[in-house]
Amino acid sequence: MIWQRYNARMTDALLTITDLEAAINFWRARSPAEGEELRLCAEASALAKPYALMIVQGATRIAPEQLGDKARAAYEAWRAATQG
């Protein structure tokens, strides 16, 4: 399975689904969806795939290494903007 479920030994290293959702909402507020198809901005779009897969698989946490480069960059930029 690509997405890891909660693992007590790796709690600090894993990203939560709540954090991914907050990051997506941050990017959506910063750059609202566009066009008739309501296309997400690049950052929200990059985070949406791992978020959706986590929901489908019932995962609550994911290792940062499992995010693609664009998703990881969007997540890290959100953290820097919101948590100093």
- In this predicted model, what pLDDT tens digit does every residue of 7-55 receive, in sequence order? 334 445 899 999 999 999 999 999 888 888 788 999 999 999 999 999 9
Instruction: Give the whole-angstrom CA distance, residue 4 versus residue 36.
Output: 35
The pTM (predicted TM-score) of the whole model is 0.79
Domain ranges of the chain: 8-83
pLDDT at 35: 80
pLDDT at 12: 56
Please state, in angstroms and as integers, the Cα–Cα distance from residue 66 to each residue in 11, 34, 47, 51, following that order: 15, 28, 11, 11
